[in-house]
Amino acid sequence: EDQVVSLEMERIGDTISSLPTEDGWRTLKPLCLYQGFWCFPYYAESIILGQKYYKAEPSDIFVCSAPKSGTTWLKALTFSIVTRTRFNSSSNPLLFQSPHTCMPSFHRSFSKKLDIREPGLPLIASHTPYASLPKSVKDSDCKIVYICRDPRDAFVSLFHYIAKVRPKENEPISLEEAFELYCEGKSLFGPFWDNILGYWRASVERPRKVLFLKYEDMMKDTTLNVKKLAEFVGYPFSLEEEQQGMVQKIIEMCSFEFMSNLEVNKNGISRLATNVENNVFFRKGKVGDWKNHLTPEMANRLDNIIEQKLIGSGLTF
């Protein structure tokens, strides 16, 4: 298998080096444009391998999101829901591990191996746009859950995130520069509107296949949405579990307050594509923080883009 991968990697390397790039965010590597979306070359590598080798199982659950839209939260929740009979409140791996290392990632894991599934765990995460998921994922009975977020908050979150993960020797960029790139669609797994609309349309066409969640709705009525999520992925809460407070236990354990105060998420480091401090995934966890960062003109510009792009889709923010 290793040899297959290394041969394949050479070919993929050639493909990737011929892609258009964008270095405006001044990240470790420039973004590259693959199949109409922008991502890091090491993600493109994994996605290309995944598109070729991944064979979906009907029991798979894809945990998808636009970046900075609540991925960490959705991962923690789906992981807790699916594994709730295996662990108790002191043995849950989320107490000792970042939610990002609790499941393999479609856009990250393939460069190391071809079978990325974790034994006994049906979860696979990704920011990959719906259109670029392998055909077998779309054709099989597996489930896809997707979380998106008001793009104004997602942008502010992305700006702060990139500022933290950018190598120290690279010059920082201003909020205005980042905003320009975001509005042009040149952001991680963007254009953001394509990422959102791809999953939105799939959820409208196939509501039993794709569950479309919004960060703001999850915040407003967490219980309702967590129950919906559990039912959708095929792990519904029994009446008994509900009476025992299982839903609330999971919500509490996955809350921003609780998770961001765990030692592992405060001071731990995880090997993702690169080494990342776990705390970069926990900033404020609030709805509407864009008001503290965007000028009225910026907000207006983004509103117009959102309106234009989503027109006729039935989706609003």
Closest contact distance (angstroms) between CB of 156 and ligand A3P is 6
Residue number with CB closer to ligand A3P (56 or 218): 218
In degrees, rounded to 5, the angle at the alpha carbon of residue 258 between the alpha carbons of residues 253 and 262 is 105
Q: Which two tokens stand for residue 300?
A: 């207006």
Q: What three-state secondary structure class fits 63?
A: strand
DSSP H/E element including 65 = strand 61-65
| From 100, 107, 127, 160, the catalytic residue | 127
Q: Is 172 exposed, middle or buried (0-12, 13-18, 19+ CB in 10 A)?
A: exposed
Tell me which of 70, 129, 134, 190 binds ligand A3P, using CB under 6 A: 70
Q: What three-state secondary structure class fits 306?
A: helix
Closest contact distance (angstroms) between CB of 141 and ligand A3P is 26
Closest contact distance (angstroms) between CB of 89 and ligand A3P is 17
Query: How far is the CA of 169 from the CAs of 27, 99, 104, 165, 173, in angstroms?
Result: 10, 28, 30, 11, 12
How many CB atoms within 10 Å of residue 218? 22
Closest contact distance (angstroms) between CB of 9 and ligand A3P is 27
User: 161, 280 in Cβ contact below 8 A?
Assistant: yes
Residue number with CB closer to ligand A3P (42 or 53): 42
**Active site (annotated) includes residue 127:** yes
- 225 is a site residue for ligand A3P (CB under 6 A): no
The one segment of 10-18, 64-72, 183-191, 197-205 that binds ligand A3P by CB under 6 A: 64-72
Please give the residues from 103 up to 162 whose contact with ligand A3P meets the rule CB under 6 A. 153, 157, 160
Q: Can you count the helices (H) and strands (E) in the chain?
A: 14, 9
Residue number with CB closer to ligand A3P (71 or 111): 71
Binding mask 287-306 toward ligand A3P (x if CB under 6 A, else -) reads --x-----------------
Closest contact distance (angstroms) between CB of 2 and ligand A3P is 31
Q: Are strands 123-126 and 61-65 parallel, antiparallel or unpaired?
A: parallel
- 259 is a site residue for ligand A3P (CB under 6 A): yes
- Residue 44 C-alpha from the chain's centroid: 15
Q: Please, which contacts does 198-205 make with residues 24 or more away whose CB atoms are closer than 8 Å?
A: 198/129, 198/130, 198/131, 199/64, 199/130, 199/144, 199/146, 199/148, 200/148, 200/313, 200/314, 200/315, 201/130, 201/313, 202/130, 202/144, 203/146, 204/314
Tell me which of 47, 68, 133, 162 binds ligand A3P, using CB under 6 A: 68
- Tokens 């980042």 identify what position? 178
Residue number with CB closer to ligand A3P (127 or 143): 127
Q: How many residues sit close enough to ligand A3P to count as binding (CB under 6 A)?
A: 22
**Strand ranges, E, within 103-260:** 123-126, 143-148, 210-214
Tell me which of 40, 62, 73, 193 binds ligand A3P, using CB under 6 A: 73
Please give the residues from 155 up to 194 whose contact with ligand A3P meets the rule CB under 6 A. 157, 160
Closest contact distance (angstroms) between CB of 308 and ligand A3P is 24
The one segment of 68-76, 133-141, 166-174, 225-233 that binds ligand A3P by CB under 6 A: 68-76
Catalytic residues: 127
List of residues contacting ligand A3P (CB under 6 A): 65, 67-73, 76, 153, 157, 160, 254-256, 259, 281-285, 289
